[in-house]
Amino acid sequence: MTYRTFGRPTRRTVLRGAAAGAAVLAAPAILRAQGSTIRIGMPTILSGRVAILGQSSEAAAQLAVSEANEAGGIDGRMLELVVRDSAGKPDQATKVTRDLVNTEGCSVILDAEASGGSFAVNETVRDIKVYCIHTNSETSELTAAPKNQVEWVFRCARQGIHDAVGGGLYAANLSKEKGLTRWGTCSPDYAYGRSNTAEFMEYTKRFAPEIEVVVESWPKIFQPDYTENITALLNSAPQALYSCLWGGDLVAFFDQASLYGLFDQFETVAVNLGDYPVLEAIKALPTGIHSGSRYSSTVPDTEANRTWNDTYRAHSPVLPTNWAWQTYSGIKFMVEALKATGGDTDASKLAEATRGMTIDSPFGVNGTLTLRESDHTLIDYPVGYGLTLPEPPYIKNFQMTAWDEILKYEAEWKERNGYA
């Protein structure tokens, strides 16, 4: 099992933090700087085919923790990141989370699991009452469904229903423009894959009622061979394909499907294609695949985003991803909450500080991100689609969906599902 610790304060760092605090609080800050650190526990996936999830999340969290410590920590107290590998298994995510709190002394949790693990972590931190921010799960129900909502838990990650509204509008326009009425799907067979695909097709058909789904294929997560799925798609001959496969699974599917010429036959929409490690790992990236916005140094096309991209790459052995910016932002929200409570890690106090919080961010469409008060989830990040290129910048012509449009349809979706 992988076990890593970052941010343990050196004497030099402690002195730097103490010096920063001294400017405001003089001698008492020095005493606090020499006191206990605040340990942030981070369960994530560091092994297996989708290890890029944890690797890029870990690098981003480490960068954010380092920046916070360089700026003086929390009132002079340093932050320490403790990372544990769940191997993508929900039961292991539960065990790791409990160990981080009960054995490693972590007082807050930054959950960088995929959806299966995040639901397990969600119930664990509910049970032991520890403040938590989820940073990678996109399954809408995690924070939208009242049964899953926890007073001291937040989600700093894109949400499936937001992508579904943006993707549905994009796909409907594509269908009308090219006369695509027969669609197929190929998505992972677990909570995220099922709910994401259902939401995407629901909104595509809502905006283009003439389309029908003629084939659905559900490969298992981490499945090595996609021949059966590819054959099913080819035999059903849809005109367009939607997939929310991700990470190494998406790379394997693209490499194998290309051998059958699948992308020459169908218009393809892949919401998770636009991450740099995925784009660079595919052996022959097809041109003209429709990709959702993940992380791009050009979206938003601002100096702040380009600077973050350069800084991350200078400090990380792995490329930036969608999970990287989300995890980095999760630490930023956590740091601001800790500042607001004066370093008090009481779950209810941190929740009160976080609820409805807005921070300046290079990833916000208007320069800010908000953790919405009503359901503790992230809004105002980029939602859109573009077309792949075989070489950098890999995606061009992003078409963004306005947030007032997303929020209008999300409100209807919540009411229809009994979530509002």
Contact 277, 52 (CB under 8 A): yes
Alpha helix (H) ranges present in 150-226?
160-178, 191-207
Provide the domain count of the chain.
2
Half-sphere exposure of 76 (CA within 13 A, CB side): 20
**Domain assignment present for 2:** no
What is the spatial distance between Cα 369 and Cα 381, in angstroms, rounded to a whole number? 7
> Do 145 and 180 have their domain in common?
no
What is the spatial distance between Cα 400 and Cα 413, in angstroms, rounded to a whole number? 20
**Domain assignment present for 273:** yes
For the CA atoms of 151, 157, 161, 167, the dihedral, rounded to the nearest 10 degrees, stands at 170
Q: Kindly give the pairing relationship between strand 384-388 and strand 395-400.
A: antiparallel
51-89 pLDDT, tens digit each: 888 999 999 999 999 999 999 999 999 999 999 999 999
> Do 170 and 216 have their domain in common?
yes
> Do 374 and 289 have their domain in common?
no
Among 113, 155, 114, 149, smallest CA distance to 134 is for: 155
> Do 359 and 274 have their domain in common?
no
**Domain assignment present for 30:** no
Token digits of residue 246: 């991700």
Q: Give the per-residue pLDDT at 35.
A: 58
> Do 186 and 291 have their domain in common?
yes
pTM of the predicted structure, to 2 decimals: 0.87
**Domain assignment present for 26:** no
167-219 pLDDT, tens digit each: 999 999 999 999 999 999 999 998 889 999 999 999 999 999 999 999 999 99
Full residue range of the structural domain in which residue 67 is found: 38-159+301-379
> Do 237 and 183 have their domain in common?
yes
261-309 pLDDT, tens digit each: 999 999 999 999 999 999 999 999 999 999 999 999 999 999 999 999 9
Residue 155 pLDDT more than 60? yes
**Domain assignment present for 48:** yes
> Do 348 and 388 have their domain in common?
no
* Mean pLDDT score, 117-144: 96
Burial class (CB in 10 A: 0-12, 13-18, 19+), 167: buried
Residue 413 pLDDT more than 90? yes
Indicate the DSSP class of residue 140: T
> Do 64 and 116 have their domain in common?
yes
**Domain assignment present for 21:** no
Q: Between residues 220 and 21, which one has the greater pLDDT?
A: 220
> Do 86 and 217 have their domain in common?
no
Q: Give the per-residue pLDDT at 48.
A: 85
> Do 59 and 92 have their domain in common?
yes
Residue written as token pair 């092994």:
47
> Do 141 and 82 have their domain in common?
yes
Domain with residue 96: its CATH number is 3.40.50.2300
